[in-house]
Structure 1
């Protein structure tokens, strides 16, 4: 169990929150998280790249020149992979890159990845009421009060999407807004700082509990 300080909109300490997640054993943690990361990145690949073999390239029905007597190399088709405009040898074809991983193992990897970022985790109070209208500048100033450096890549986790928060956050290039029930390993590991609301921490512990 880890106790985290909760900060209010002004950046002052306003309480504590407990983070209690069942994580992988230390000797297996890196392996489990790595498998989940590879799975996520592979599953994001479209796999639609395609090249044509010599049998699929148009043309090439006639022998370019006679077999002997020209002084040139033998050639049976101008669609040969050796020719410009010819087919491609062993080129990529459409394929499915997806990797399977058990649901329990995926959740274990997610909990382990989240717990490993506790040192970079900033827990804040709900701030929907502080943004009655979309205001990017106010959100940037609040993050500075919370201890986020301007160049930090930030992952902002909320319990549920609020339109004003979303509109305030979408123009910040180094900030990604995500709801607590849509967490993923890549975003957790890629961020320099993770800012989560207290209710998002509660949601994470409920949604990603053992199972």
Structure 2
């Protein structure tokens, strides 16, 4: 089992093997769900806030006497049932994140990558040698890539967001470019197809997974 290996022009040329740990990883949908849910919760700002009746200004004086007016009794015009009053059981700033064990997190990440490998929707990009950003060149690159990479949104994983490759792909529609250090399991799962720089792929799979190059002028 391996990922597509693309030449500097985008053509498929051989395959990029999985590392031993990645190869042995079983795909665990329940674990992916647990980690993705946690990651989405961590990304929530948690800043929603409301005022209770004790936080709202005013309301210190009893609106009218307890008896004799014919109205319902009221002790404050900042009661939750009054307009302008406090909010009952409203949200307050808090952290929505939970705890995920490191082992579970890593297994979920490997499972997400392995799922893309099984579907054939992940490819490894050799160094392109691009010296300047060019969206046209990036579009031509993807046009020559395997058909599975046509699925959108496409996630492009790079080492540096300022590289010509990153700047070229990020202008394209339905293409999300992220640095490897910023990638989470939720990002892998959000992409229907994934394009990874070779350096990143080797880092994910360890030195035990060298890319299997094919001979060719544009390799």
Which TM class, normalised by the smaller chain length?
A: 0.7 to 0.9
How many residue pairs get matched? 202
Partner of 2:95: 96
Deviation at 1:141, TM superposition (A): 2.0
Q: Is the 8 Å Cα contact of residues 4 and 16 (structure 1) preserved in structure 2? A: yes
Q: Is the 8 Å Cα contact of residues 24 and 109 (structure 1) preserved in structure 2? A: no
Structure 1: runs of 5 or more not aligned: none
Partner of 1:133: 132
Q: Deviation per CA, 1:23-65, whole angstroms, max 9, x where unpaired?
A: 5545xx1221111111111111121211111011000111112
Q: Is the 8 Å Cα contact of residues 26 and 111 (structure 2) preserved in structure 1? A: no
With the length of structure 1 as denominator, give the TM-score of the two structures: 0.85
Deviation at 1:79, TM superposition (A): 0.2
- Counterpart-to-counterpart distance in 2, 1:8 and 1:132: 16
Partner of 1:59: 58
Deviation at 1:4, TM superposition (A): 2.9
With the length of structure 2 as denominator, give the TM-score of the two structures: 0.83
Q: Is the 8 Å Cα contact of residues 161 and 167 (structure 2) preserved in structure 1? A: no
- Counterpart-to-counterpart distance in 2, 1:24 and 1:99: 24
Q: How does 1:65-104 map to 2 (within 5 A)?
A: 65-104=64-103
Higher relative contact order (CA 8 A, sep 6+): 2
The reply on whether 1:197 has 2:197 as its aligned counterpart is yes
Deviation at 1:76, TM superposition (A): 1.1
Matched residue SS, 1:176 = strand
Partner of 1:11: 10
